[in-house]
A and B are shown apart, each in its own frame.
Chain A
Amino acid sequence: DAGVTQSPTHLIKTRGQQVTLRCSPISGHKSVSWYQQVLGQGPQFIFQYYEKEERGRGNFPDRFSARQFPNYSSELNVNALLLGDSALYLCASSLAVAGGQETQYFGPGTRLLVL
C-alpha cells in the first residue's frame, strides 16, 4: 500500500507570495495533520483535520489555513510568505481521532524555501 504522499517535494517562493501544499493520506485514513519543521528543530503542529472538519490548530498566524476534501486529501495554504516560513512541511495521516493514541504516519514532506 502506498504511504502518505505529498506534493511538491521542493518549492522556492519569494516573500509575499502564496503557496499551496498537498497531501494524500494512506488509504482508509480519515485524519490528516500538518506540521512545520524548521531546520534543526522538532516538528511543530499546525492543523489537524478529521472528516473535513478542523479538530486542532497550533500556534500559527492566520496566514496559515488548510482544508480537507471528501476523499480525505488535504491542502495547506500559506499567504504573504515570510523568510521564516522556510521549512519542511510534513503531513501525517491516521485512521481516526481517538484521544491521542492513534499512530500518525508521516509523508516525506515538502521543503519550502522563501527568498
Chain B
Amino acid sequence: GAVVSQHPSRVICKSGTSVKIECRSLDFQATTMFWYRQFPKQSLMLMATSNEGSKATYEQGVEKDKFLINHASLTLSTLTVTSAHPEDSSFYICSARQPTQVRTYEQYFGPGTRLTVT
C-alpha cells in the first residue's frame, strides 16, 4: 500500500516551453503533498506544500508564478514549470501524506521526474 506515482518519469523540453508533472497517490487519499527538487549530490529541497482544495504554500525563494502547483483532488497534484530555462533542469520528486495518519512523520515519495531543459 501507500504508492505514489509520478508522470512523466523523464522529460526533455525546449527553453521557453512549459512542462506539467503529475503526482498521484494510487491507493490512498492525500490531503497534503510536498514537491521537492533535487540537484545532483545535493539535498532534497522543499519547494512547496500542497493541500487539497487550497493554494500551495511556497518556500522562500521559490517563484510561485513559475512553479504552478494545483492540488485538484485527494489523489492528484500537478507541478507546472512555466517558461522553463536550462537552470530549471533538475530531479523533481513529490511525496504524499494520508489525512488520518497517526505517524505524521511518514510521507510516501514518488519515483521522481527528471526534467532537462535544452
Whether A associates with B in a native complex is no
A interface, CB within 8 angstroms of B? none
Q: Residues of B with Cβ closer than 8 Å to A?
A: none
